[in-house]
Amino acid sequence: MKSISTGILYFLALGVSGYAAFVYGFLPLGSSVAPEMQKSFLAHPYGIYIHAFASIVALAIGPFQFSTRLRENRPGLHRWLGRGYLAIGVVVGGLAGLYMSQYASGGTVARLGFAVLAVLWIYTGLRAYLAIRRGSVKEHQKWMIRNYSLTFAAVTLRLYLPISMVGGIDFAIAYPIIAWLCWVPNLIFAEWRCTLANRHMSHFSVNRH
């Protein structure tokens, strides 16, 4: 079961990364999004390009950082990938995302949803970095789980948008909801995973004594 979920994670993360790289690298800006979003993209091209390509870095690197084999066999590579993930993906991508959130389609609700996402993305990345600098590996891992759940909003956003279109939901209604739906359940799931990890560690500690 774990191998299946890991395979799905890699498939979705790398698939959306490749798709986004193609769309933003080779197609006219805004050609693949709704007309309402296209206006914002064309009005702020530098902001969207920086956000898109920095976020691609984070989305693509993230799954590999959870690989136990990589951490144990190539710790140096793990650290350098982590630096790229946080510095380029999270910090640059998050700041550009915060900037672009001011111009998001869907009104105040959507803009607030994307702004909170960007702030939490940067915050959890900072907490993960500070934890590993202190040598708190377990705490670092938990913050990285939370952080990547927010990175994964790039995937869930692209799942919910076509689902809403197929369901015949008007974009003006769907997009403000998706601005929150694309990351809030992800973060709740991450917190659940962290809680399970805490319980497992507590149980292991009690059994050892």
Give tens-digit pLDDT for 83-122. Answer: 999 999 999 999 999 999 999 999 999 999 999 999 999 9
Distances (CA, A) of 100 to 37, 153, 205, 208: 11, 15, 46, 50
Q: What is the pLDDT of residue 159?
A: 96
Distance from C-alpha of 82 to C-alpha of 203, rounded to nearest angstrom = 30
pLDDT band at 150 (very low <50, low <70, confident <90, very high): very high
CA geometry: angle 100, 46, 173, nearest 5 deg: 35
Tracing tokens 């805490």 back to the chain, one arrives at: 198
Indicate the pTM of the whole model. Answer: 0.92
Are 63 and 9 contacting, i.e. CB atoms less than 8 angstroms apart?
A: yes
Kindly indicate the confidence band of residue 206, based on its pLDDT and cuts at 50, 70 and 90. very low
Distance CA 87, CA 96 (A): 13
Break the chain down into helix, strand, coil percent, rounded to 5.
Answer: 85, 0, 15
46 vs 206: which has the higher pLDDT = 46
**pLDDT above 70: percentage of residues in the chain:** 93
Structural domain boundaries enclosing 130: 2-208
| Pair of tokens at residue 114 | 């994307």
Average pLDDT of every residue of the chain: 92
Residue with tokens 């590999």: 64
Q: Total domain count for the chain? A: 1
